[in-house]
Amino acid sequence: MTTHRLERVSSADEAFVGLVRQLDADLAIRDGDENAFYAQFNGLEAIQHAVVLYLNEVPAACGAIKEYDATSAEVKRMFTAPEFRGNRLGAVVLSALEDWAEELGYERCILETGLRQPEAIRLYEREGFQRIPNYEPYKEMVNSVCFEKRLV
């Protein structure tokens, strides 16, 4: 029997950092020459609110939120390890992040993903996120796709 648990952590959490390393390696391949641009906005220093989803006590997926502005939490560092994909873990992580953002008083979640991540786009659309015009710093990036979801 498969059991899962979600753990709220900081960006210094070892399991979170390990999953983010895998994410960064994947994005380096997908984004190619544009990776350096995106990487500058993906540091962990500003992230205080992250979650790790464990399957049978193995870190399987993660995500985080950070303040974008007084009313908006930005979803960051969403990732499911390849061996655990196809189990809708991203939806579980995303829901936990939305709940946390609402607890913290945010009115909406926003996020940026890339056209080279069609599975991420499908996840966000399936979970009720609406596409919005690209926000800073992604306004001029043709590969970027931005979304929002109202929490209240």
DSSP state of 127: T
pLDDT for the residue numbered 116: 87
Arithmetic mean of pLDDT over the chain: 91
Q: How many domains does the chain have?
A: 1
* Mean pLDDT (whole number) for 27-45: 69
Axis crossing angle, helix 118-126 with helix 89-103, rounded to the nearest 10: 60
pLDDT classification of 15: cutoffs 50, 70, 90: very high
Sheet of 108-114, strand order: 4-9, 49-55, 58-69, 72-80, 108-114, 144-150, 130-132
Position 36 pLDDT exceeds 80:
no
DSSP state of 81: -
Give per-residue pLDDT as tens, 101-119. 999 999 999 999 999 899 9
Per cent of the chain over pLDDT 70 is: 90
Position 10 pLDDT exceeds 70:
yes
Position 37 pLDDT exceeds 70:
no
| CATH number where 87 lies | 3.40.630.30
* Mean pLDDT (whole number) for 74-96: 96
pLDDT for the residue numbered 29: 79
Position 46 pLDDT exceeds 80:
no
Closest CA to 5 of 58, 50, 76: 58
Q: Can you tell me the distance from the alpha carbon of 73 to that of 80, in angstroms, rounded to the nearest whole number?
A: 21
Per cent of the chain over pLDDT 90 is: 75
Per the structure, the complete domain to which residue 31 belongs is given by 4-150
